[in-house]
Structure 1
Amino acid sequence: MKVVDVQFTPAFSSFYFDDQAAIKAGAGQDGFTYVGKAATPGFDRIRQSGEAVSILLKLENGLWAEGDCAAVQYSGAAGRDPLFAAARYVPWMNEVLRPLLIGRNVTNFVGNARFFDSLEYDGSQIHTAIRYGLSQALLDATAKSSGRLKVEVICDEYGLPIELSPLALFGQSGDDRYNAVDKMIMKRVDVLPHGLINNVVTKLGKNGGKLKEYVTWLTQRILQLRNDRDYVPTLHIDVYGTIGMIFDNDSEKIAAYLTLLEARAAPFSLYIEGPVDAGGRAAQIALLGEIRRALRARASTVKIVADEWCNTYSDIVEFVNAACCDMVQIKTPDLGSIHNTIEAVLYCHAHKVEAYQGGTCNETDISARTCLHVAQATRPQRVLVKPGMGFDEGMTIVANEMRRNLSILQTKIAPAE
């Protein structure tokens, strides 16, 4: 089965591009916007409308395969690719990618994904967002050319078993970190709330007091609202390096603070994502390792999740090999082609490090649904509910795709008599 036509269509993503450096430096808010000057190259304003590009591949059987190019909310931060603007890239995609796609055989997904992921232009790999969206379309093309679900294609090509158990889903609150928690409890999400603790003054507190109060409220709210004791979610909070900021990246002080959060989180398990930002990969690995060892010396069960400076497949391998964290966020757009996400999750499994298949609020329904297929094939320990920051919308997209797939797979594995 070959590709006979290609379209690249500018699209909206489900959130916005935010200049993380300016926000962490204390940029003020004016309604939904931020005030002040942008600090990250490529940004004209601190908050800009999110953009995507839909890639549409027409197959010989008349079906259209689709994938969406999308980049993370905090583009350009911590070693990530720069801001992704459709107007800049669509002409280039038509000129360079279209001729490579017309006539391409889509029988095999992984081979095509590797080809485009390794493609270079002007001496560099093409933007992660383009590789991400193109790989989604190529996977969809292989599935639609063979009458399979995307999860089946992945399992077939990687020799993975089809499993019918549901995945653990992780809800993100955005700045609405109180009302969103109520929604998550009502819908019994497995992991919550993310929290978006990306500013010291307004969210963490100069001495960490605001986050301590929030964790206490969070624990009490779950105990108050849950209908039965069988609902025991995991707490997972992303702090964007702000804890390191208030403790000057002192691992002992950070570990002592995290044990205080742990006490307030009881009886629920606590994961802290991105406690520090050390400014580079090697420094980040070293500092996270120090914090993890300091926590274990205190007999703490707090688990550290790597995020900043852990962007690519090779980054993930380095973090896992260093045993500096308990879990790695595999931020799907940052890895480019989704075969890298597949292999990153499998690498974590092989080395006994927990895998969190994440991504960004700034994706689309297409990319989120594709990622769910990837997760159903590779079985990470948790999967981000995305896109958007409203929770309910992302939960609808991800959870319903998972349940539909399970229903279809069940009929294939055990056909109705």
Structure 2
Amino acid sequence: MTTPLTIAKVIASPGVGSFFFDDQAAIKAGAVRDGSAYLGNAVTPGFKAVREPSESVSVLLVLSDGYIAHGDCASVQYTGVGGREPRFHAADLARQIEQDLGPRMEGMSVNIFREAAITSERMINELFDCKRAAAYGVSQALLNAAAHAAGHHLMAQVIKDEWDISTPLAAVPIYGQCGDERYTTVDKMILKSVPVLPHGLINVPDLVGTDGAGLEEYIGWLRARISQLRVTPSYQPIIHLDVYGLIGAVAQGDIEQTANIIQRLERAAGDHQLRIEHPLDAGSRDAQIQAMAALRRTLKARESKVAIIADEWANTAEDVHLFAVAGATDMVQIKTPDLGSIHNSIDAILDCHKHGIGPVLGGTCAETDQSARTTTHIGVATGVSQMLAKPGMGFDEGYTIVFNEMNRALRIASLIGRS
């Protein structure tokens, strides 16, 4: 039974994220890796160093019945580039949420999540510079509040009800990210039979190599290692590589040569399905859509089965829609912090389904356990193609958080008869 509830008070607590905020422009310009740090000067506004600890802000909504709903503000690792808003500073953002936003949200009804999320996003857009980070955390807390008010305490069911999703809640494939540990962390993924791996963090040209030779060698190692370590012969994971636009860079922007390299990698993958995220970077949203569409047409004409995935420059629900209707990609990473309020991520996922594009429910290593659990409910409610194990780059922790939250939600749904 739904209980009418309102917000009595808004509290914000500064926190940390699970990895780092990295100045991608400085790294691409040649900042040298030194252990876990980078040497050199920051170039992206808002950064004082090339690598800085990621931050978060916990948003706590004290409801009229005393329940405290929780969500976490976060930004992606490579904030401030690719059309994204600047990095935020937790102490400043927490102060602004309490002082400027909180009084305006007091008395707001939390029973209808979508309505409350849209209203709060409108307020945030009027008040904040780091709009999306703020709306990301506030909307998570509102979804938690709506689930509490509805009595079943299952955020995925709120999403199904409010968006009129008829398909049952279901498990979706999880994909792992290995960070810089491209070998030892992959072993963990194989031993745990992760469906999609390894992300790879292919963020410097040497990892691609001349004409893709470096990546070809790495994919060969992946295949051999999977065969060696897999627990059952039927385990055949999808190989998903995020190349940060560097295949296109190695190909000097030439679409035909970019396709040549991708097909070389496809041959190296053998029987494994291959997915390439952000294969090139054209420098703006419209140019990216045009270039990705040309690459996709070229690959399809050559009968390639590689799926290319849009990532950077797809930062809003509108961006995702434009990539989808242009036929510019096979899949889109819905990078949840970039889309701000989580109702935008839900809209973008359903729009992908409508246009036959595979939605990848992503996010970032730099967010938190709370945001990961909340967005897991989005994945099981909307039936995404795959869902990122997050946060962090250690893999084990993020995989545990997402896998267990997904299974808890499905088990609860099966017992209360609502799925």
Structure 1 window deviating more from structure 2 (267-276 vs 221-230): it is 221-230
CA contact (8 A) 2:332 2:358 kept: yes
Q: CA-to-partner distance for each residue in 1:276-333, whole Å, 9 max, x for gaps?
A: 1110011101111111111112211111100111111110011001001100000000
The one of 203, 217, 221 equivalent to 2:221 is 217
Structure 1 window deviating more from structure 2 (331-340 vs 139-148): it is 139-148
Identity of paired residues, percent? 48
Tell me by how many angstroms 1:91 deviates.
Answer: 2.3
> What SS does the aligned partner of 1:268 have?
coil
Match of 2:199 in 1: 194
The one of 160, 164, 169 equivalent to 2:165 is 160
Letter in 1 for 2:396: D
Match of 1:319 in 2: 323
Tell me by how many angstroms 1:194 deviates.
Answer: 0.2
RMSD: 1.5
Letter in 1 for 2:194: V
Match of 2:255 in 1: 251
The one of 262, 267, 280 equivalent to 2:284 is 280
Aligned pair in 2 of structure 1 residues 121, 393: CA closer, same or farther (>3 Å)?
closer
Counterparts of 1:165-184 in structure 2, within 5 Å, are 165-184=170-189
Q: Distance in 2 between matches of 1:16 and 1:131?
A: 20
CA contact (8 A) 1:172 1:193 kept: yes
Q: Distance in 2 between matches of 1:120 and 1:406?
A: 33
Counterparts of 1:263-342 in structure 2, within 5 Å, are 263-342=267-346
Aligned pair in 2 of structure 1 residues 414, 238: CA closer, same or farther (>3 Å)?
closer
Q: Distance in 1 between matches of 2:155 and 2:220?
A: 41
Match of 2:89 in 1: 85
The one of 66, 72, 78 equivalent to 1:74 is 78
Letter in 2 for 1:186: L
> What SS does the aligned partner of 2:203 have?
coil
> What SS does the aligned partner of 2:308 have?
strand
Matched, 1:412 2:404: no
Q: Distance in 1 between matches of 2:127 and 2:257?
A: 44
The one of 396, 401, 412 equivalent to 1:397 is 401
Structure 1 window deviating more from structure 2 (203-212 vs 171-180): it is 203-212
Q: Distance in 1 between matches of 2:101 and 2:418?
A: 41
Match of 1:150 in 2: 155
CA contact (8 A) 2:124 2:131 kept: no
Q: Distance in 1 between matches of 2:124 and 2:378?
A: 25
Tell me by how many angstroms 1:229 deviates.
Answer: 2.6
Structure 1 window deviating more from structure 2 (22-31 vs 190-199): it is 22-31
Match of 2:103 in 1: 99
Match of 1:240 in 2: 244
In structure 2, stretches of 5+ residues that fail to align are: none
CA contact (8 A) 1:80 1:311 kept: yes
Aligned pair in 2 of structure 1 residues 299, 184: CA closer, same or farther (>3 Å)?
same
Q: Distance in 2 between matches of 1:166 and 1:333?
A: 22
Tell me by how many angstroms 1:94 deviates.
Answer: 2.0
The one of 341, 359, 367 equivalent to 2:371 is 367
Counterparts of 1:378-397 in structure 2, within 5 Å, are 378-397=382-401
CA contact (8 A) 1:195 1:237 kept: yes
Q: CA-to-partner distance for each residue in 1:333-367, whole Å, 9 max, x for gaps?
A: 00000001111110000110111010100010000
Tell me by how many angstroms 1:164 deviates.
Answer: 4.4
Tell me by how many angstroms 1:122 deviates.
Answer: 5.8
TM-score by length of structure 1 reads 0.96
Matched, 1:32 2:36: yes
Match of 1:61 in 2: 65
CA contact (8 A) 1:10 1:90 kept: yes
Q: CA-to-partner distance for each residue in 1:19-65, whole Å, 9 max, x for gaps?
A: 11111222111110000111211111000011000000111222110
